[in-house]
């Protein structure tokens, strides 16, 4: 009934009731989208008032890419919960594309992902620069090398993440002419860095890992890690928000806790090659 009253007031049909299921009319879809924007913006009034308080309180909805989450979040969450007991952290793992979409629609407050994005609606605050390293089977002819050049990987079977993961694109940018996880009769798709490691351990070949993942490896596995020759390829990890984001105090608290657990050597770009997303 409320919708019909609104239709009468606006003198337009928002929904086409001649079809089943009922769907919005063309103008109705635009009205619904605008209503969402109004609701989202009106909610920022309360956030604006809250942001003026000295304490870090309320909700912070965070999206993070899966290739960062397991190596960063466990250290940061415990510290945030202890230091800010009145803060409610809501965290989801999403691909970069989904995080950007959810930032623009107000589902998320901020994201932690690889940059640069080249999106004028998104504000990026770089946090650290993380080396890509190679993880090579002990049966590879490259195993005896101390450092690796990207061209060395041309004849290796490279295990990759699924389509949609930004790290897949970055690895392909580094290894432009390599083979991709090709075993006869096998097409394998994974969204897990840990699975890539296991595939190399059992099925040979190689993969690329983010440097923070090395903390999870055994000594035996660490013996399979090789760094790249200079300039080393790195990914830039940033804290991102919509350009109109308000809760700056809470965001800064999260940024500070992240920087506390990141090695100082990762906080500066220096002479490294930032790989595009």
Other Cβ atoms less than 10 A from the Cβ of 133: the count is 21
Q: Return the structure tokens found at 262.
A: 């990141």
Inter-residue contact 190 to 198 (CB < 8 Å): no
The β-bridge relationship of strands 147-148 and 122-136 is unpaired
pLDDT level of residue 164 (50, 70, 90 thresholds): confident
In the numeric block, the tokens 């432009």 are attached to: 176
Residues 46 and 61 in one domain: no
Residues 113 and 241 in one domain: yes
Residues 9 and 70 in one domain: no
CATH number, residue 60? 3.40.190.10
Residues 124 and 241 in one domain: yes
Kindly state the average pLDDT of the residues 169-186: 67
Residues 83 and 21 in one domain: no
Which residues span the domain enclosing 23? 1-52
CA 234, CA 244: separation in Å to the nearest integer? 29
CA 174, CA 232: separation in Å to the nearest integer? 10
Enter the DSSP assignment of 143.
G
Residues 68 and 200 in one domain: no
More confident call, 169 vs 237: 237
Residues 245 and 224 in one domain: no
Residues 20 and 67 in one domain: no
Q: Return the structure tokens found at 87.
A: 């803060």
Kindly state the average pLDDT of the residues 193-221: 93
DSSP 171-232: HHHHSTT-EES-BTTB----S-HHHHHHHHHHH--EEEEEGGGGGGS-HHHHTTEEEEPSSE
Residues 135 and 222 in one domain: yes
CA 168, CA 159: separation in Å to the nearest integer? 10
pTM of the model: 0.78
Inter-residue contact 82 to 204 (CB < 8 Å): no
Q: Is the torsion defined by CA of 248, 252, 254, 255 positive or negative?
A: positive
Residues 123 and 246 in one domain: yes
Domain boundary among 35, 52, 69: 52
Kindly state the average pLDDT of the residues 265-274: 80
Residues 109 and 243 in one domain: yes
pLDDT level of residue 45 (50, 70, 90 thresholds): low
Give the chain's domain count: 3
Residues 212 and 244 in one domain: no
- Separation in Å, CA 98 to CA 14, 104, 125, 163, 165: 28, 10, 19, 13, 11
Residue 68 has pLDDT above 50, yes or no: yes
Q: Return the structure tokens found at 233.
A: 């390829």
Residue 94 CB partners (closer than 8 Å, separation 6+): 63, 64, 65, 102, 111
């Amino acid at each position: 009934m409320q919708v019909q009253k609104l239709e009468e007031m606006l003198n337009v049909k928002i929904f086409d009731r001649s079809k089943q299921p009922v769907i919005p009319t063309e103008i109705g879809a635009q009205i619904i989208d605008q209503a969402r924007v109004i609701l989202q913006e009106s909610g920022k009034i309360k956030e604006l008032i809250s942001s003026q308080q000295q304490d870090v309180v309320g909700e912070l909805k965070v999206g993070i890419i899966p290739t960062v989450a397991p190596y960063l979040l466990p250290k940061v969450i415990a510290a945030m919960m202890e230091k800010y007991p009145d803060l409610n952290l809501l965290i989801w793992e999403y691909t970069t594309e989904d995080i950007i979409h959810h930032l623009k629609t107000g589902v998320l407050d901020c994201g932690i992902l690889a940059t640069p994005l080249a999106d004028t609606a998104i504000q990026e605050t770089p946090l650290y620069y993380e080396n890509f390293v190679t993880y090579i089977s002990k049966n590879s002819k490259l195993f005896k090398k101390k450092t690796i050049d990207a061209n060395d990987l041309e004849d290796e079977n490279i295990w990759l993440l699924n389509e949609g993961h930004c790290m897949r694109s970055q690895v392909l940018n580094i290894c432009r002419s390599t083979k991709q996880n090709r075993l006869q009769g096998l097409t394998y798709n994974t969204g897990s860095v840990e699975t890539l490691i296991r595939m190399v351990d059992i099925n040979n070949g190689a993969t690329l890992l983010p440097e923070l993942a090395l903390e999870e490896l055994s000594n035996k596995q660490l013996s399979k890690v090789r760094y790249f020759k200079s300039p080393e390829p790195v990914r830039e990890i940033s804290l991102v928000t919509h350009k109109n984001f308000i809760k700056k105090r809470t965001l800064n608290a999260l940024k500070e806790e992240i920087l506390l657990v990141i090695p100082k050597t990762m906080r500066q770009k220096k002479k490294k090659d930032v790989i595009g997303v």
